[in-house]
Structure 1
């Protein structure tokens, strides 16, 4: 078996991210999105992409954290992060104008002054395509490349979808890779169209999940072990 696909022997658990883990969460997401088409579009200079992507994810995870349970991680007992997911509950997916204004200097540091326009175009396009009505939104899911294919990302998705099913609430996401569409379809998400980013940018696939449509109650493999602390 490839050593890169072996989970820690002590197991892992799913929990809310801790404030002190914002840097680790951002670094994990930056690694997992290293070849993402949208990240490559927003950070076209390869030499700046890793640092800019890490800054971007640190910023948006900080914006998510005030919302209860919004940043969730799969982590070992020792605190090593394997995967992370950012969720927004019904009516909370869009930051307030005040919060966006406060975050503007952070966006400028992440993208640079020239890159802010392209980043704003991406955000505006996604917001214009966002569905109305109450739903849970998954803007970001990432697994450390060393643990992709082990089930930790699936465990994060299933945990929240089980909650959606209990509440009878739908879920929504945009897949930035066509190859990831089948992954989300396993959980009951269905493609509803295409989103073309302006200026020759990449395509995204919006996906909607009706509560109770599957994937929310299947156990992760292997079964996770709750971490201490």
Structure 2
């Protein structure tokens, strides 16, 4: 049976942010940004809310019909540097947790490695509720966009935040770009790129 997917909107904010908060609460990058667990429990949701805003502004949010999984995508044009982009990480820090330099640091470091030479769909975040892991919901969300990328000749990009997700994305056709991002005294992230594929090249 297929997974029913729809485009999320402003009315889905509370549910999507709650899902992101639950799914990423103990992710290596979230744990690095907010190392104190009690503080993370109080503040992490504000970061997820800001990411939801960014997705609605820069792209779109897809959600499974039952609300158990969601993906935040940005549509990135080729070679375009918008006025104010350099201020984005600082503005995010001010909006989420002004005293936390790591909120800004991770934004600046990921911006620095983000490809700009070709238009692509950027998978910023994908979340599956902890109780629904292993059911293929995340794969279905990503595959739906990758199918469109293949039809339209679009590239795709992401940063994997753990080795398990890195291996999953590799099975979906993403390739490690060769240089990992090591957060200062923190976890490793793997930038991954995907070329549009023909039907015979797809593995999923």
Structure possessing the higher radius of gyration over alpha carbons: 1
Structure 1 stretches of at least 4 aligned residues deviating more than 3 Å after TM superposition: 92-96, 98-101, 106-109
Report 1 or 2 for greater relative contact order, CA contacts < 8 Å, sequence distance ≥ 6. Answer: 1
Q: TM-score, normalised by structure 1?
A: 0.78
- Aligned pair count reads 197
Q: Specify the alignment match of 1:128 in structure 2.
A: 112
Q: Specify the alignment match of 1:20 in structure 2.
A: 11
Task: Identify which of 138, 141, 165 aligns with 2:126.
Answer: 141
Please give the per-residue CA displacement for 1:94-144, whole angstroms capped at 9, x wherever unaligned. Answer: 87528967x93x743532x321x2111111111111112211110101100
Q: TM-score, normalised by structure 2?
A: 0.86
Q: How does 1:83-102 map to 2 (within 5 A)?
A: 83-91=69-77, 97=84
SS of the residue 1:114 aligns to: coil
Q: Specify the alignment match of 2:50 in structure 1.
A: 59
Q: Specify the alignment match of 1:182 in structure 2.
A: 167
Aligned-residue CA RMSD (Å): 2.5
Please give the per-residue CA displacement for 1:16-73, whole angstroms capped at 9, x wherever unaligned. Answer: 11212112111101111122111011111100213322111111112221445x1110
Please give the per-residue CA displacement for 1:178-229, whole angstroms capped at 9, x wherever unaligned. Answer: 122111111101111201113x1211011111111524xx4xxxxxxxxxxx
Structure 1, unmatched stretches of 5+, are 1-8, 219-229
Q: Specify the alignment match of 2:63 in structure 1.
A: 73
Task: Identify which of 149, 153, 168 aligns with 2:153.
Answer: 168
Does the 8 Å contact 1:189/1:209 carry over to 2?
yes
Structure 2, unmatched stretches of 5+, are none
Q: What CA distance in whole angstroms lies between the structure 1 residues aligned with 2:103 and 2:65?
A: 30
Q: Specify the alignment match of 1:50 in structure 2.
A: 41
1:214 aligns with 2:202: yes
SS of the residue 1:89 aligns to: strand
